[in-house]
Chains A and B, each alone.
Chain A
Amino acid sequence: MFAIFTQFADWLTYSIFGLSPDSKLGDAVHFFIEDVSKIYALLIVMIYVVALLRASLNVERVRDYLSGKNRGIGYLLGSGFGAITPFCSCSSIPVFLGFTSAGIPVGITMSFLLTSPLINEVAILLLMSLLGWKFTLLYVVIGISVGTLGGFFLDSIKAERWLQSFAAKALAQGQQNDQTNHSQTATAMPLAQRHEFAKDETLEIFSRVWKWVIIGVGLGAALHGFVPDGWIEQYLGDGQWWSVPAAVLLGIPLYSNATGVIPVMESLIINGLPIGTTLAFCMSTVAASFPEFILLKQVMQWRLLATVFLLLLVSFTAVGWIFNAFSSFL
């Protein structure tokens, strides 16, 4: 099914550009063209299809559903909805406050917000096509677990103590008037309206992520063509315990979304970087970014902000070590 992209890259690289298939440059250019064309085609088709399916799901409905849920299952549900609900990261503050003022515990809200950047439909489908279903399943399970356990942890240390005072007040009020006003009733959405939504969504997401794909694949191609075979394996292989925390730290200043980082993951793994180290690096790049953390300052005190940040770094490091240790069983 994907052979057409290989043929297209063959034709463009070797016939049109006249590069030799044996040269490093030819190899890198071929890889770049094949991956970019494949990813663009996949993205457009997949964003459209997924948007069509989830057109009627939105944060307001998730809030109504989550409020009043028992905590035990709440973290898992929060994390799960974080994965599938479409929402732009610039809305995270209003979403946080919306959930909070509906009386939803901080931990469940954070489960939602932590999982959201890690897992989304574009990331899942890209992972499937580039790295296979086993890796994808693994990635999703880890993402959901980080969100679920992170939320549970934050509630068990009573993180709500460290909210900004107006947010804490909103939470207390929300928990008092328990009856939730179900603002919207689920109405069946006609197909025409779904198509309209899916079309807008496809244009919107594609215009946001296309450059990330170029950057991600470009880096991947550079790695692919110019880093000597075995170099990564020798110097950053799983024998070096420090390579995982180093990868996590390196990921913090780099900020990308999941779409851009997946092509990089592909080439890192092909080049022999251990799976756990790769996962740790990528999760840190996607989820731990300073600009977004600074935004959260509006609703959280420094202490909570630092706790959440450390929590992420520790969990990504743990994920990396665990997977490096067990990678031989995969």
Chain B
Amino acid sequence: MKQIKVLGSGCTKCTKTAELIDKLAQESGVHVNVTKETDPQVIMRYGVMSTPAVVIDEQLVHSGSIPHRDQVQTWLTQE
């Protein structure tokens, strides 16, 4: 199961990002565990400066905006 973290200080964009990933994962039947990470120390450790950012299995894949649907789909289907 993919461990997906959404990094961000809890603004609406971060919440939307987490919801989008959850929804698309459900639609395509992929099992994921989406968590939100709001601790600035942790965000700093990933070297992220623009939130929301997405980390999949400890790999930073995106930062600075709500990701596009297609982008999320690719992440979900990639092994």
Contact = CB atoms under 8 A, between A and B. Distances in A.
Given A94-B44, A97-B40, A88 B13 contact: yes
B48 A94 contact: yes
B49 interface: yes
A58 B9 contact: no
A88 B11 CA distance: 10
B49 A98 contact: yes
A101 B50 contact: no
Interface size class of A (residues with CB under 8 A): 20 to 34
B13 A95 contact: no
Contacts of B64: 58
Interface of B is mostly: loop
Given A90-B8, A90-B11, A200-B65, A166 B49 contact: no
Nearest to B65: A200
Interface string A48-73: 00000000001110010000000000
15 contacts: A58-B64, A59-B49, A60-B50, A63-B49, A90-B11, A91-B49, A91-B50, A93-B9, A93-B40, A94-B43, A94-B49, A94-B50, A97-B49, A98-B44, A204-B65
Interface of B: 7-11, 13-14, 40-41, 43-44, 47-51, 64-65
Given A88-B50, A94-B51, 6 more contacts: A94-B44, A98-B44, A98-B47, A99-B49, A166-B41, A200-B65
Interface of A: 58-60, 63, 87-88, 90-91, 93-95, 97-99, 101, 166, 170, 200, 204, 295, 298-299
